[in-house]
C-alpha cells in the first residue's frame, strides 16, 4: 500500500488557540520575502492547474483490457470523468478500445451525445433516473437506459409511445448493495413486464446487470453472496426468455481482482484514471496503472513570521519558532478538503510540507520551516508519485477518505490542461473551464 506518515512539520505545532474569533492576537509584524517568478513565462499565468495526461489514460485502458482479455469495456465517465473532463477522457477511452461509455445522470449522457459521440461510435448507458426522465430526449439520443423498478419502466414506455422510438433497456438487479436495482422478490414481475414490452416492439432488453457493495475489500463475504445473487438473477431472466447483449457486474476493483465477475462487459471507473480502487491490495503501478491527474498551484505569498504566530482561522496551528509561511491559492471552493487542515501534504522545491492550520475557502498556508522559495514557486499537491511527490491516495489518507473523492472534487475554478492528445486532436478538447489541449 502506498502512502506515508503525515505528521506535523518539524517547524510547527498542532496546538490550538484559545480564541474563537479567528482574529490575530496582538502581533509582531510579518516580513514578506521571496522573489516573484516572471508572470509572462509560458504556462505560468494560472494560480493553479490540473494536468490531465490522456496518454496515461489510454495506457491504463490498454492495461485493463489486457487483464480482462475478452469482455468489452465500458469507460465510466460520470461526474465529469471523476473530475478529469468527460469529453476528452471519453474520446481518449474510445481511442484506447472502449466500446461503451457509462454515466450516472441523463444530463451527462446527453452532453456527450451533443458533443458528437454518436451511437455509431459508442453505446452509452445511463443509470440514475428520477421521475420525469428525461426519457424522450434519451430515446432520441439512442442512450441505453437502466431500469430498476416498475415505475421507471412505465414512464419509459410512455415516452416510447410518444416518440415512436423503441428503448434499449438494462434491467438492474439489487444483489446486495441496497441502492438502485430491483429486489429479488420483485425481479420476476419486472422481467415479465419487460418481456411483454419487448414482444410489443417497445423495447429491447439489451443488458442485465448489478453492482458490488464491497469488491474493494478482498474476502468480504458480500462478494460471493452477490456473485451468487447475480447468477440467480441471470438464470431466472434468461430462463424466461431474456436474451441480453451484455451481462455486466464488474466495477474497477472487480475488474482487477475478480475475473469470475467479468461476464460480457466490465465497467472500470477509478482504475481508468490510474488510481488504485484497492490500495490495500496494491498501488497503481502494481496493476500496471499510472495516475492521470496532477494538481499544482503557485505560491501567492512567502513571509517571515515569529514563533507563536497563529495561522489561519481559529489558530489551530501556531508556529513553534521563527519560520516562513507560504500561501497556496487553493481552498475548499476549489475542492481541497477542509479535512486536510493540518494534514494535507504538498511538495515545494522538492520537500514535503503539510497544510498549516485550517483550509479556507480560497487558500491555505504551509509552514516552510525557514526556507524562502520564490513567490510563484510551484506547489505540487498530488501527482503520479513517481518522483516522490504526494499522490491522491496520500491526500485520501490524510483526510480520512478515498482517492475517488480527492480527484472528483477538484472544482471548476481550476483549469484543466490536457497532455497526450491523439495526433488527430480528437481527445484534446476542454473538459472544464480553462481547459486546453497540450
Q: Which of 263, 313, 351, 418 is catalytic?
A: 313
pLDDT, residue 282, reads: 95
49, containing H or E segment = strand 48-53
Distance CA 170, CA 145 (A): 6
pLDDT, residue 421, reads: 83
**In 255-367, where do the E strands start and end?**
265-266, 293-298, 301-305, 310-311, 317-319, 323-328, 345-348, 351-356, 364-367
| pTM to 2 decimal places | 0.87
pLDDT, residue 274, reads: 98
Active site residue 332: no
224, containing H or E segment = helix 221-239
Distance CA 269, CA 202 (A): 31
Active site residue 313: yes
Q: Where are the alpha helices (DSSP H) in 69-215?
A: 78-82, 86-95, 106-114, 135-140, 150-163, 187-199
Residues β-bridged to residue 366: 326, 355
Strands ordered across the beta sheet of 310-311: 12-13, 317-319, 310-311
Domains along the chain with CATH numbers: 12-47+300-401 (2.40.37.10), 54-275 (3.20.20.10)
Distance CA 21, CA 374 (A): 32
Distance CA 1, CA 210 (A): 29
pLDDT, residue 19, reads: 29
pLDDT, residue 422, reads: 73
Residues of the chain below pLDDT 50: 1-43, 425, 427-438
Distance CA 188, CA 308 (A): 69
Per-residue cell: 240 = 424466461
Q: Which of 78, 82, 273, 317 is catalytic?
A: 78
pLDDT, residue 423, reads: 59
Amino acid at each position: 500500500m502506498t502512502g506515508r506518515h503525515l505528521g506535523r512539520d518539524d517547524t510547527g505545532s498542532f496546538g490550538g488557540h484559545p480564541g474563537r474569533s479567528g482574529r490575530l492576537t496582538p502581533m509582531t509584524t510579518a516580513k514578506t520575502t521571496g522573489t516573484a517568478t516572471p508572470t509572462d513565462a509560458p504556462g505560468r499565468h494560472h494560480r493553479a492547474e490540473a494536468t490531465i495526461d490522456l496518454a496515461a489514460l489510454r495506457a491504463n485502458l490498454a492495461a485493463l483490457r489486457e487483464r480482462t482479455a475478452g469482455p468489452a469495456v465500458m469507460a465510466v465517465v460520470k461526474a465529469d470523468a471523476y473530475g478529469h473532463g468527460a469529453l476528452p477522457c471519453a474520446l481518449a477511452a474510445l481511442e484506447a478500445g472502449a466500446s461503451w461509455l457509462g454515466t450516472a445522470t441523463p444530463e451527462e449522457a446527453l452532453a456527450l451525445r451533443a458533443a458528437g459521440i454518436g451511437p455509431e461510435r459508442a453505446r452509452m448507458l445511463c443509470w440514475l433516473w428520477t421521475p420525469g426522465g428525461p426519457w424522450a430526449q434519451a430515446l432520441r439520443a439512442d442512450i441505453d437506459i437502466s431500469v430498476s423498478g416498475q415505475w421507471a419502466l412505465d414512464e419509459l414506455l410512455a415516452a416510447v409511445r410518444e416518440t415512436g422510438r423503441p428503448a434499449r433497456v438494462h434491467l438492474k438487479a439489487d444483489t446486495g448493495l441496497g441502492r438502485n436495482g430491483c429486489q429479488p422478490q420483485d425481479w420476476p414481475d419486472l422481467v415479465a413486464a419487460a418481456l411483454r414490452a419487448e414482444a410489443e416492439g417497445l423495447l429491447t432488453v439489451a443488458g442485465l446487470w448489478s453492482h458490488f457493495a464491497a469488491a474493494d475489500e478482498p474476502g468480504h463475504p458480500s462478494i460471493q453472496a452477490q456473485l451468487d445473487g447475480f447468477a440467480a438473477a441471470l438464470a431466472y431472466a434468461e430462463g424466461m426468455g431474456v436474451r441480453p447483449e451484455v451481462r455486466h457486474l464488474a466495477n474497477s476493483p472487480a475488474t482487477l481482482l475478480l475475473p469470475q465477475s467479468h461476464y460480457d462487459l466490465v465497467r472500470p471507473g477509478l482504475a481508468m484514471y490510474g488510481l488504485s480502487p484497492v490500495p490495500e491490495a496494491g498501488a497503481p503501478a502494481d496493476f500496471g496503472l499510472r495516475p492521470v491527474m496532477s494538481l499544482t498551484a503557485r505560491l501567492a505569498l512567502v513571509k517571515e513570521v515569529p514563533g507563536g504566530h497563529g495561522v489561519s482561522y481559529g489558530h489551530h496551528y501556531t508556529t513553534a519558532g521563527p519560520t516562513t509561511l507560504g500561501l497556496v491559492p487553493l481552498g475548499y471552493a476549489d475542492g481541497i478538503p477542509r479535512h486536510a487542515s493540518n494534514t494535507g501534504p504538498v511538495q515545494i522545491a522538492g520537500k514535503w510540507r503539510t497544510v498549516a492550520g485550517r483550509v479556507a475557502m480560497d487558500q491555505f498556508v504551509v509552514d516552510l520551516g525557514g526556507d524562502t522559495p520564490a513567490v510563484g514557486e510551484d506547489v505540487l499537491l498530488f501527482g503520479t508519485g513517481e518522483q516522490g511527490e504526494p499522490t491522491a491516495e496520500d491526500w485520501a489518507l490524510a483526510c480520512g477518505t478515498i482517492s475517488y473523492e480527492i480527484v472528483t472534487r477538484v472544482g471548476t475554478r481550476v483549469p484543466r490542461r490536457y497532455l497526450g492528445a491523439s495526433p488527430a486532436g480528437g481527445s484534446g478538447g476542454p473538459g472544464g473551464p480553462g481547459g486546453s489541449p497540450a
